[in-house]
Amino acid sequence: MKTADPYTAAVTEGGAPRGIERLGVFGGTFDPVHVGHVVVASETRAALGLDRVLLVVAGDPWQKRGQVVARARDRLMLVEAAVEGVGGVEASAIEIERGAPSVTADTLEALAGPHRELFCVLGADAVLNMSSWRRLDETRELATIVVVERAGDRYAEPPGPGWRVTRVTIPRLDVSSTDLRARLAAGRPVDGLVPTAVVRAIRARGLYTDAR
């Protein structure tokens, strides 16, 4: 599957602007991707009327160094498998190809364009961690923050004033990549917790069998 081209202009075939593309940007390590990630992307796209949602795979997640198990290209391959056939949801290798620490502001700047409106999709836990981000002030000007909330989540607001914020409520699916890695390392099934194509790819590549 071809990953999303972040530089595709929002134009008609004749080259004339067709209006503003509403683009969701949902970043993460996806180590591994699971059904909860796909639900977030799909539900957010529907709730906000977004044209597309990109699942941006972190190449060098500097805040999680030493904790990420699978290589970036393997994680990208799993995300590609997960979103195959899911309308308007695509994998993006933009942070992997950059070859630098994954910084949200850098990614949003690379995706920005005169015919594009950006929506940065975050879970409540990620919003509560935003104060530790690099280039946080620049991030404020680049995108609307989409806070994805599930029943029981702590109420979360971006740090400081001036943010554009919208909220999307999704069903609570208690699936975590940490638990999936433990299951895979122990030889337990993950069917139903990750898309079927991802299960096949994990088994074919022998991923996560040595995770702890």
Tens of pLDDT, residue by residue over 175-204, are 999 999 999 999 999 999 999 999 999 999
User: Is the backbone peptide bond immediately before 32 cis, with ω within 30 degrees of 0?
Assistant: yes
In the predicted structure, residue 8 carries a pLDDT above the cut 50: no
Out of 12-16, 49-53, 186-190, least confident range:
12-16
Q: Which of 44-48, 100-104, 153-157 is most confident? A: 44-48
Q: Give me the helices (H) in the chain, please.
A: 35-48, 72-83, 94-98, 104-111, 124-128, 136-142, 177-185, 196-205
Helix (H) or strand (E) holding 21: strand 21-28
Please name each of the domains of the chain with its CATH number.
21-175 (3.40.50.620)
Mean pLDDT, all residues of the chain: 90
Q: What is the pTM of this model?
A: 0.89
Question: Distance (Å, rounded) from C-alpha 69 to C-alpha 207?
Answer: 9
59's torsion region: left (phi>0), alpha (psi -120 to 50) or beta? alpha
- Reported as a pLDDT band with limits 50, 70 and 90, residue 3 is low
Question: Distance (Å, rounded) from C-alpha 168 to C-alpha 166?
Answer: 7
What integer pLDDT is reported at residue 4 of this predicted model? 54
- Reported as a pLDDT band with limits 50, 70 and 90, residue 12 is very low
In our burial notation (b when 16+ CB lie closer than 10 A, e otherwise), range 147-174 reads: bbbbeebeebebeeeebeeeebebeeee
Q: Which two tokens stand for residue 193?
A: 């917790």
